[in-house]
Chains A and B, each alone.
Chain A
Amino acid sequence: MTKRSNWSIPYFIFLVLFVVLPLVLVIVYAFQDNEGGFTLANIGQFFSDSDAISTFALSLEVAIENTLICILLGYPAAYILADKKLNRSAVTIVLFILPMWINALMRTLATSELFNVLGFTLGKGTLLFGMVYDYLPFMIYPIYNILQKMDKSYAEAAEDLGATPLQVFTKVTLPLSMPGIMSGVMMVFMPTVSTFAIAEFLTNNKIKLFGTIIQENINSSMWNYGSALALIMLIIIGITSLFNSEESNAAEGGLI
């Protein structure tokens, strides 16, 4: 038998070239000055730039708020959808998944146009509302997925043993659905903290998020500072993904 494990070699080379090397370049550029020498000035520039710091804080704040609202609104929805007694229609589930398949820019544009026609002032309120609108399905789906696969007998056993409905929920259902919530958090928090176009649409460019600053710097050829900002975002993402346990990956699969 030919060595099948060698079949991974082309992809290995591809990954090194198109995934690892680009990230190494971000780090290299972040610590380089215009002449190519080593410097900490780019990172320092971020920490001394109060505008950049406040934008960074705002991005984190919006991403956290958006994630929390999505959990609060999405969990009950996922719970209802997964409950055979409350929902028997597969079409309802399709309707909740469908927005995930439509281009995010298109959906965001539709939202901001609707806000305009309804006469809402575009600002922080519309930004949050639009983000929730964009990302809610990404929270509902993994939670729904895990609730649906959950063994109902655990909850029944708890009931038989005298737990109140509230106890059943807080002590059995909720802990068992944590992996779904965690992968929902990953699917909502990560894109919101790094978005740029969506925020521009939803606030008519009045509010800048961190992604926009990265884009502006890269596009105006400030590659070193732009890379430093990208590196800072990369660190945030790295920290967040550490919180995400491996088991939650199970909830993501099987979109189709």
Chain B
Amino acid sequence: MMKKFFARFYIGILLVILYAPLVFIAVFSFTEAKALGNWTGFSTRLYQSLFTGGMQGGSGLMKAVENTLVIAIISAAVATLLGTIAAIGIHNLRGRKKQAIMFMNNIPMINPDIIIGVSLFLLFVFLHIGQGMLTVILAHISFCTPYVVLSVLPKLSQMNPNIYEAALDLGATPHQALWKVMVPQLRPGMLSGFILAFTMSLDDFAVTFFTRGTVGLETLSTYIYADARKGGLTPELRPLMTIIFLVILILLIIINVRQSKVRGEVK
């Protein structure tokens, strides 16, 4: 009984500490005061000005959100495609060749993002590629794809190769067998690869920072960085953070409830 009490208490304290800053931001998103920590009465004005674009502090926050989403969607989609094709190829490789490509695949996962950023910056300088949205997307694809490869590979080893052969024997063209037999079985791996890639891209700061060039491209991360450097935090960031926090919370709960349902059905 005591053990249970201490366990609950410990978990409770950790959660309070982990969530204090987020709750703090969320509470002060419902007041108008420019300086964080001043309570000037309940108001939803910050939420309104976030969406109507009538920024008090800096404009461009919504543009930064849009850029972040566009980069994340394109990078995750391309990474999923490239990674899935690569995984099918790697699955059929043997020996040294397989080891070599898996070794290279692991590099971006171990490499700190600042090194990825600096090294890609040098690459684009070396190749005389002007930096902007395109280079940021290429950079994001490079660190997202390994996660897709690693999500799809286990699905390939679980797959019964005879099913694919059977489809061919029954008269399916290789193209049909691929789309109607193989892809449906790989889909869960592709989906979790896509979600991982998407969140990795959303979360990135350092790689974007080094590869965006000087064309004034801002993502949410670089916007926050520039904002914090100026000292004054754009008040509209508070409602934005609150919304992002709630969206992720709801998504995660839905995913977990669905997963435990699936597990329950299997049992």
Q: Are B101 and A190 in contact (CB-based, < 8 A)?
A: no
User: A175 to chain B: which residues have CB within 8 Å?
Assistant: none
User: A193 to chain B: which residues have CB within 8 Å?
Assistant: 112
Among A187-205, those with CB < 8 Å from B are: 190-191, 193-197, 200-201
Chain B interface residue count, CB cutoff 8 Å, equals 87
B107 → chain A, closest Cβ, in Å? 5
Q: Are B3 and A25 in contact (CB-based, < 8 A)?
A: no
| Bound form: Cα–Cα A148–B249 in Å | 23
Q: Are B248 and A102 in contact (CB-based, < 8 A)?
A: yes
B146 → chain A, closest Cβ, in Å? 9
| Bound form: Cα–Cα A233–B113 in Å | 12
Stretch among B43-51, B53-61, B200-208 lining the A interface: B200-208
Q: Are B112 and A11 in contact (CB-based, < 8 A)?
A: no
Q: Are A237 and B92 in contact (CB-based, < 8 A)?
A: no
Interface assignment of A163: CB less than 8 Å from any CB of chain B = no
Q: Are B11 and A5 in contact (CB-based, < 8 A)?
A: no
| Bound form: Cα–Cα A87–B12 in Å | 12
Among B200-245, those with CB < 8 Å from A are: 202-203, 205-206, 209-210, 220-221, 224-225, 228-229, 233, 237, 241, 244-245
B208 → chain A, closest Cβ, in Å? 11
Q: Are A11 and B82 in contact (CB-based, < 8 A)?
A: yes
Among B1-39, those with CB < 8 Å from A are: 3-4, 7-8, 10-11, 14-15, 17-22, 24-25, 36-37
Q: Are A18 and B120 in contact (CB-based, < 8 A)?
A: yes
Of chain A, the residue at the smallest CB distance from B22 is A110
| Bound form: Cα–Cα A230–B119 in Å | 9
Q: Are B115 and A26 in contact (CB-based, < 8 A)?
A: yes
A254 → chain B, closest Cβ, in Å? 8
In the complex, per-residue mask of B185-202: 1 if CB is within 8 Å of any chain A CB, else 0: 000000010011001001
Q: Are A94 and B256 in contact (CB-based, < 8 A)?
A: yes
Q: Are A190 and B110 in contact (CB-based, < 8 A)?
A: yes
Q: Are B104 and A20 in contact (CB-based, < 8 A)?
A: yes
User: A1 to chain B: which residues have CB within 8 Å?
Assistant: 168, 174
Interface assignment of B134: CB less than 8 Å from any CB of chain A = no
Q: Are A86 and B4 in contact (CB-based, < 8 A)?
A: yes
Q: Are A90 and B256 in contact (CB-based, < 8 A)?
A: yes
Majority SS at the chain B contact face:
helix
| Bound form: Cα–Cα A215–B209 in Å | 10
Interface assignment of B181: CB less than 8 Å from any CB of chain A = no
Q: Are A22 and B206 in contact (CB-based, < 8 A)?
A: no
A168 → chain B, closest Cβ, in Å? 14
User: B21 to chain A: which residues have CB within 8 Å?
Assistant: 107, 110-111, 113-114, 133
**With known contacts A19-B142, A99-B18, A109-B233, A190–B112 Cβ distance under 8 A:** yes
Name which of B89, B139, B209 has the most chain A CB atoms within 10 A of its CB.
Answer: B89
Q: Are B104 and A15 in contact (CB-based, < 8 A)?
A: yes
Interface assignment of B111: CB less than 8 Å from any CB of chain A = yes
Interface assignment of B88: CB less than 8 Å from any CB of chain A = yes
Q: Are A218 and B210 in contact (CB-based, < 8 A)?
A: yes
Q: Are B115 and A104 in contact (CB-based, < 8 A)?
A: no
Stretch among A48-56, A72-80, A150-158 lining the B interface: A72-80
Among B148-191, those with CB < 8 Å from A are: 149-150, 168, 174
**With known contacts A107-B22, A111-B21, A237-B112, A7–B89 Cβ distance under 8 A:** yes
- State which of A10, A18, A114 has its C-beta within 8 Å of the C-beta of B138: A18
| Bound form: Cα–Cα A193–B206 in Å | 14
Interface assignment of B52: CB less than 8 Å from any CB of chain A = no
User: A106 to chain B: which residues have CB within 8 Å?
Assistant: 220, 224, 237, 241, 244
**With known contacts A110-B241, A196-B206, A241–B110 Cβ distance under 8 A:** yes
Q: Are A25 and B119 in contact (CB-based, < 8 A)?
A: yes
| Bound form: Cα–Cα A241–B53 in Å | 46
Q: Are A218 and B119 in contact (CB-based, < 8 A)?
A: no
| Bound form: Cα–Cα A200–B20 in Å | 21
User: A81 to chain B: which residues have CB within 8 Å?
Assistant: 11
B103 → chain A, closest Cβ, in Å? 10
- State which of A8, A14, A22, A186 has its C-beta within 8 Å of the C-beta of B120: A22
Among B75-108, those with CB < 8 Å from A are: 82-83, 85-86, 88-93, 97, 101, 104-105, 107-108
A98 → chain B, closest Cβ, in Å? 6
User: A137 to chain B: which residues have CB within 8 Å?
Assistant: 18
9 contacts between A and B (CB under 8 A): A3-B92, A5-B92, A11-B149, A96-B14, A110-B241, A194-B112, A194-B113, A226-B118, A234-B115
Chain B residues with a Cβ under 8 A of chain A: 3-4, 7-8, 10-11, 14-15, 17-22, 24-25, 36-37, 82-83, 85-86, 88-93, 97, 101, 104-105, 107-108, 110-116, 118-123, 125-126, 138-139, 141-142, 145, 149-150, 168, 174, 192, 195-196, 199, 202-203, 205-206, 209-210, 220-221, 224-225, 228-229, 233, 237, 241, 244-245, 248-249, 252-253, 255-257, 260
